[in-house]
A and B are shown apart, each in its own frame.
Chain A
Amino acid sequence: MSTNSRRKMVEAKEIIKVYGSFRALDRVSLDIYDGEKVVIIGPSGSGKSTLLRSINRLEEIDRGTIVVDGMDLYDPKTDITKVREEVGMVFQSFNLFPHKTVLENLTLAQTVVRKRSKQEAEEKAMMLLERVGLAAKAKSYPGKLSGGQQQRVAIARSLAMDPKLMLFDEPTSALDPEMIGEVLDVMKDLAKEGMTMAVVTHEMGFAREVADRVIFMDAGRIVEEGTPEHFFTAPTHERAKLFLSQIL
């Protein structure tokens, strides 16, 4: 299958991000194609979260260009909220709105940003809650839910905006082990349906099963990139070998 013929959803070129004198991203280039599932792994502090967060401009980059769905993030004419409407993001710490019910968490941006009617938004929300198996919790507040349930709600909340691309920033790192599976299952379903996904994770099983491409980062650079089979069986870079030997 040739991915080159497909449309690019994300096109990041030579991006640099500096914190003081520390280069969090050091001339990173990354293309993500329509429908592709990219898993980004690497030791902590390697820049993987920073890279992910720069795709919807939660993180400002210092140099380089990022084009998402044809929109240049740093073109003054680009309305960044329009980009973010198309790019869903799931956080390590869920970040559900604690003062709103589960249902309201899903309808807020639909009504405020997408200008959908309350009824339309609620129908969409219930459909998505059904899909992540939490329709019964629609009237609950996030504080009453387990971590795994909260993260499933957070995924549903992002999906309610009908994003073209989903970013996952260590979605299972804050979860108790027994809850990781339920969240990964939702993500796998999403992958099967053809969603374009970029996932920062330490779940190697998930990477093997779902990824079209695995990206290994170290010290702000992409040092290895390839199919899961290639990456997990025959990594070429020393740093990647070491990393794999430590976690597998």
Chain B
Amino acid sequence: MGTEAKKQIIDVGDGAAIPRKSDRGLFTAWRIAFFGAIGTIGYLVWSKPDPYLNIIKFVPDGIAVTFQVTLGAILLAIVIGLVTGLGRISKNRFFNGVASLYVEVIRGIPLLVQIFYIYYALGTIVKVPAILSAIIAMAVCYGAYMGEVVRAGIESIAKGQREAALSLGMNGRQTMIHVILPQAVKVILPPVGNEFIALLKDSSLVSIIAVADLLRRGREYASESFTYFETYTVIALIYLIITLFFSKIIGVMEERVSVNK
């Protein structure tokens, strides 16, 4: 509950500490990894078109699906996280209790198990496409983490802000909408970016429930051509390039926000 724990929730990044702010030189870890990965793929395709070029041609559909799942899940997770975060700080005992229970339960179950569970549980009630149940599963899981990010962000806003708004006659809702949340967004943005990248990587888990994402497409290709090593090399490099690309964008966004302060 102390500031230590709060800080952790805000600062902890799942690999998104790359690029570090201190990385200024030409050969930063980020540049070596990013351009190295692109160069490696380029070299492999050029030197051994079969199977590498074939693999490259086969997987783009999967990349699109990976993005669909990631984007859909993160947007839904932000909505769930906002409601959960508000619930966690709510004085309404029911709302607070439900939100806390949700966070505790979700954080205690592995994501892979949740994906299976939601896929088959949903399947017994309604017939939904695998991709939709994948998005829901990812969002339900990440919504819990996002809820903690939102809660920490709101709690990081000084108590005086709330008091000033209340003393002007604003009610709790007006205070939240006009004073607290606009300031909390700036605090929340970097950890949300980290969650996005973590979710992007974790989205590979949905390949297990017949969603044709990047990993799934790779497995399909590999099992037909028996080029397991080559295929998974390319898949790993593509994930690496995508992840590094977004971590860079998020790093830049973070800097913008802190400068505009």
Footprint of B on A, CB under 8 Å?
Answer: 56, 58, 81-82, 84-85, 87-89, 91, 93, 95-99, 108-109, 112-114, 143, 154, 157-158, 161
Residue of A nearest to B174 (CB): A112
Bound Cα distance from A95 to B169, whole angstroms:
15
Given A99-B182, A99-B183, A81-B170 contact (CB < 8 Å): yes
Q: Among A95, A108, A157, A161, point to the contact of B178 (Cβ < 8 A).
A: A108
Chain A residues with CB below 8 A from B165, complex form:
97, 109
Distance in Å from the Cβ of A16 to the closest Cβ of chain B? 22
Complex interface: stretch among B156-164, B211-219, B228-236: B156-164
Chain B residues with CB below 8 A from A109, complex form:
165, 168-170
Bound Cα distance from A95 to B170, whole angstroms:
15
Residue of B nearest to A88 (CB): B167
Does B79 sit within 8 A of A, measured CB to CB? Answer: no
In the complex, besides A98-B183, A113-B170, 19 extra interface pairs with C-beta distance below 8 angstroms are A56-B167, A58-B163, A58-B166, A81-B169, A85-B168, A87-B167, A95-B158, A95-B161, A95-B163, A96-B164, A97-B164, A97-B179, A97-B183, A108-B178, A108-B179, A109-B168, A114-B169, A161-B168, A161-B169
Bound Cα distance from A84 to B167, whole angstroms:
5
Given A108-B178, A113-B174, A91-B183 contact (CB < 8 Å): no
Given A108-B178, A112-B174, A113-B174, A84-B169 contact (CB < 8 Å): yes
Chain B residues with CB below 8 A from A161, complex form:
168-169
Bound Cα distance from A80 to B169, whole angstroms:
8
Given A98-B183, A112-B178, A93-B170 contact (CB < 8 Å): no
Chain B residues with CB below 8 A from A97, complex form:
161, 164-165, 179, 183
Given A98-B183, A99-B183, A113-B174, A157-B161 contact (CB < 8 Å): no
5 A-B pairs within 8 Å (CB atoms) are namely A91-B163, A95-B161, A95-B164, A97-B164, A113-B170
Does B28 sit within 8 A of A, measured CB to CB? Answer: no
Chain B residues with CB below 8 A from A56, complex form:
167
The total of chain B residues at the interface (CB under 8 A) is 19
Distance in Å from the Cβ of B256 to the closest Cβ of chain A? 15
Chain B residues with CB below 8 A from A98, complex form:
183, 261
Distance in Å from the Cβ of A196 to the closest Cβ of chain B? 16
Residue of B nearest to A93 (CB): B160
Bound Cα distance from A56 to B165, whole angstroms:
12
Chain A residues with CB below 8 A from B40, complex form:
none
Chain A residues with CB below 8 A from B163, complex form:
58, 89, 91, 95
Chain A residues with CB below 8 A from B54, complex form:
none
B160 engages A91 (CB within 8 Å): yes
Which residues of B (129-186) have their CB < 8 Å from a CB of A? 158, 160-161, 163-171, 174, 178-179, 182-183, 186
Bound Cα distance from A81 to B168, whole angstroms:
8
Chain B residues with CB below 8 A from A58, complex form:
163, 166-167
Chain B residues with CB below 8 A from A89, complex form:
163-164, 167
Bound Cα distance from A157 to B158, whole angstroms:
19
Chain B residues with CB below 8 A from A93, complex form:
158, 160
Distance in Å from the Cβ of A103 to the closest Cβ of chain B? 15
Chain A residues with CB below 8 A from B169, complex form:
81-82, 84-85, 109, 113-114, 161
Distance in Å from the Cβ of B207 to the closest Cβ of chain A? 42
Bound Cα distance from A161 to B171, whole angstroms:
15
Q: Which 3 A-B pairs have the closest CB atoms?
A: A85-B169, A95-B164, A109-B168
Q: Among A87, A99, A112, A143, point to the contact of B170 (Cβ < 8 A).
A: A112
Bound Cα distance from A91 to B174, whole angstroms:
20
Chain A residues with CB below 8 A from B168, complex form:
84-85, 88, 108-109, 113, 157-158, 161
Q: Which of B167, B174, B179 has the most CB of A within 10 A?
A: B167
Residue of B nearest to A96 (CB): B164
Chain B residues with CB below 8 A from A108, complex form:
168, 178-179
Chain B residues with CB below 8 A from A88, complex form:
167-168
Chain A residues with CB below 8 A from B164, complex form:
89, 91, 95-97, 154
Bound Cα distance from A161 to B165, whole angstroms:
12
Q: Among A81, A99, A114, A154, point to the contact of B171 (Cβ < 8 A).
A: A81
Chain A residues with CB below 8 A from B182, complex form:
99
Bound Cα distance from A85 to B182, whole angstroms:
23
Given A81-B169, A87-B167, A95-B174 contact (CB < 8 Å): no
Bound Cα distance from A157 to B169, whole angstroms:
12
Bound Cα distance from A87 to B169, whole angstroms:
8
Chain A residues with CB below 8 A from B160, complex form:
91, 93, 95
